[in-house]
Amino acid sequence: MASGMIKKLLIANRGEIALRVIRTARALGIQTVAVYSQADAMMPHVAAADDARPIGPAEAAQSYLNSSAIIQAALAAGADAIHPGYGFLSENADFAAAVSSAGLNFIGPPAQVLAAAGDKVGARQLAQRVGVPVVPGTETADLATARNFAALTGYPIMIKAAAGGGGRGIRVVAAEAELGPALETAAREAQAAFNDGRLFLERYLEAPRHIEVQIVGDRYGRVVAMGERECSLQRRHQKIIEESPSAGITAAMRGAIIEAAVALASAVGYRNAGTVEFLVDGDNFYFLEINARLQVEHPVTELRFDCDLVAHQLSVAAGDPVREPPAPRGHAIECRIYAEDARNDFRPAAGPVLYLQIPAGPGIRVDTFLAPGIEIGTHYDGLLAKLIAYGHDRDEARRRTAAALDEFMLTGVTHTAAFLRGVVASERFARAELSTRFIEQFVRQWRAPEDSLNAAAVLAAVAQNAAAAAVSRPADRRSRSPWETLGSINFWSRS
Amino acid sequence: MKLRELSSGRQFDVEVEHPGPPIKATLDGAALSLATRAQPDGATIIECGGRRLRAFAARRGDAIFVSVGPSTFTFAAIAASRGAGRHSLATPILTAPMPGKVLKIMVAEGDEVEAGRALITMEAMKMETTLSAEGPARIKRIPVSAGQMVDAGAVLMELSPIDSAKPQSDR
């Protein structure tokens, strides 16, 4: 496998994570190569890199998931390493193996670790071998096994895909009558989505907390932990607000969870940055899965440990030993702003970036690829921006988050900033009464501010009038903001 | 003018008497004054619910995008009695609730459907949404085909209600 100093790094990703990796590389004096699909030619990550290569059409399967096109681009550009970001090919063992065979350094765990972490049943068995508790369940899911298991624990139970993970391939069964059909559908879906129809079962936990541990391992067998993150706030099994430390676990449980994470990562021979996920239910914690990549929410850890995890990744990939992290301090909260409609079941949204205001100020970091003039499409994940706030304690981080969300403005794409503002400002969030059910409960009683909606209707009418007036003046057909025209009182007398 | 807010489906009747500042308007019959202060970047500062918020509004195609602080709203003008694009309740239009791909069309032009019959399935970000008939209707026109990418608000289907005594509600 390739090692040594990295001189030119290809980033096999897009969006905010591509930009984020490019920034670290640039600071380290490493040249960067961006890749892009036809839909992304005008995206900021393409302009930010030293070199950029097209890899295919908009469909991810033919571009960002196209291993050979990406490896070809890396070789053609003279890159010596590939950073996969998160999602796409980041946890694909075959891709990692192909990158290594091409003589390139894969910035992530080796293929065999990716394969072990990707097999959720295998990871479950490994956890049990090293004495880490798992959610009560079975490693097979034929109808007879499922019936017996359900009879033992009671409904609901969860059906999970062995090759799933990250919230994908999960199905909750509430009653015996649904069990047979649910198993069949789940197997079919898993086969279609992951090319692996194997399933396993777990007891359904009513309202657990989701706690995960950041780990970094080196090639000398050393694994260090960098604290935990609480990621209980989710919609559709996908995280939207994360924080560190967790306000919901005791010091004793934190110690036990971190110890379990390191034991598991060591047992699997983990290298590079990764995350071990757990569910906490009352006084018990259970291993969930290993995410063998840099996580979306890694900045939460970076703010508490005052570090750069991408720099750590590049360093251990180049053969350096992992360093003992400094003591963490303060509290960090991340809010993920998605192109989604929180008032309509988080339906995906798209559109042009017509206006943009990115928050700033003490303790505020925003990781985003948003830029005025770009179009947000629906080909890829809808994450627009991550707003991360640091404070000396949770309360300060929370107040800074709310104030910064008030400052966030993006016109042209429906997004979740106002909803996140509602969550962060709520009493329940302030009291840290979090669970994976929080968002589905909160969204039911959340409304867009009525005053803002009424004001928006009036502003929309003004914009509509201004646009109609502009059309009647052939000399000025350019689409403009009504405020340019409103600023000039003469406008109306001229038209 | 009549505006529809796409997320809530709520309709607003707004008449702008003076574009400001301050904006003088009637909103659903009630007089309203909105203090505004134009900003050099095209935004404006408004007084809203006792707070000062930055706002921005712009039209793109048939959609009017408005931000009030972190809140986003998208409006569509419900055309009055002028020119093309006029849709009376007698010709209900099924529009795309989100940008995405037309996955499947379950009916054909000329078909008669009952209330609740699934008409068309859209996909965006691997999430499927099926739109159904709100009342008994005949399918007049289907200007899209399976596999096509469409914008939010794009016309997917034109229907004529069979029982005109029960006009379909505008969704």
The model's pLDDT over A89-108, given as tens digits with 9 standing for 90+, comes to 999 999 999 999 999 999 99
> By percentage, how much of chain A surpasses pLDDT 90?
86
Judge contact between A397 and A333, C-beta under 8 A.
Answer: yes
Q: Closest Cα of chain B to A136: distance in Å? A: 30
Phi then psi dihedrals of residue A364, to 5 deg: -110, 130
* A447, amino acid identity: R
The secondary structure of residue A490, as a DSSP letter, is H
Quickly list H helices, A282-432.
Answer: 298-305, 309-317, 394-407, 417-425, 427-430
Q: Closest Cα of chain A to B110: distance in Å? A: 31
Residues A247-271: tens digit of each pLDDT? 999 999 999 999 999 999 999 999 9
Enumerate the residues of chain A whose CB falls inside 8 A of the CB of residue B64. 460, 463-464
| Residue among A235, A214, A215, A232 nearest A223 (CA) | A215
Q: Where are the extended beta strands (E) located within A282-350?
A: 284-291, 331-338, 340-341, 347-348
Rg (CA), chain A: 24
Contact A347 B124 (CB under 8 A): yes
| Residue among B80, B75, B90, B76 nearest B158 (CA) | B90
Token pair of B140 as six digits? 């007049």
Q: Which of residues 5-64 of B touch A (CB under 8 A)?
A: 5, 7-8, 10, 12, 14-16, 19-21, 23, 25, 27, 32, 34, 36, 38-39, 41-44, 46, 48-49, 53-60, 63-64
Q: Is the pLDDT of residue A486 over 50?
A: no
Q: How far apart are CA A359 and CA A407, in angstroms?
A: 5
Confidence category of residue A479, pLDDT binned at 50, 70, 90 = very low
Judge contact between B71 and B82, C-beta under 8 A.
Answer: no
Question: Maximum Cα–Cα distance for chain B, whole Å?
Answer: 55
> How many Å from the N-terminal Cα to the C-terminal Cα in chain A?
71
Token pair of A36 as six digits? 């892009």
Look at the domain B93-161 and name its fold: OB fold (Dihydrolipoamide Acetyltransferase, E2P) (2.40.50)
Contact B66 A352 (CB under 8 A): no
Q: Can you give the pLDDT at residue B170?
A: 40
Residues A294-325: tens digit of each pLDDT? 999 999 999 999 999 999 999 999 999 999 99
**Domain parsing of chain B, residue ranges:** 2-78, 93-161
Contact A355 B67 (CB under 8 A): yes
Phi then psi dihedrals of residue A93, to 5 deg: -60, -40
- Judged on CB neighbours under 10 Å (0-12, 13-18, 19+), A370 is buried
Between the CA atoms of B25, B30, B35 and B37, what dihedral angle is there, to the nearest 10 degrees? -40
Token pair of A154 as six digits? 């009671």
Residues B106-162: tens digit of each pLDDT? 999 999 988 878 899 888 766 677 788 877 888 988 989 998 888 777 788 888 877
Strand partners, A106: A82
Task: Give this complex's ipTM.
Answer: 0.88
Q: How far apart are CA A133 and CA A211, in angstroms?
A: 14
Enumerate the residues of chain A whose CB falls inside 8 A of the CB of residue B39. 483
Judge contact between A425 and A219, C-beta under 8 A.
Answer: no
Judge contact between B19 and B25, C-beta under 8 A.
Answer: no
Nearest to A457 among B27, B49, B72 (CB): B27
Confidence category of residue B168, pLDDT binned at 50, 70, 90 = very low
Domains of chain A in sequence order? 8-107 (3.40.50.20), 136-203 (3.30.1490.20), 209-445 (3.30.470.20), 452-494 (no CATH)
Q: Would you say the pTM of this structure is higher than 0.95? A: no
Task: Give the mean pLDDT of B18-28.
Answer: 92
Q: Is the pLDDT of residue A476 over 70?
A: no
Find the range with the poorest average confidence among A426-440, A459-473, B101-115: A459-473
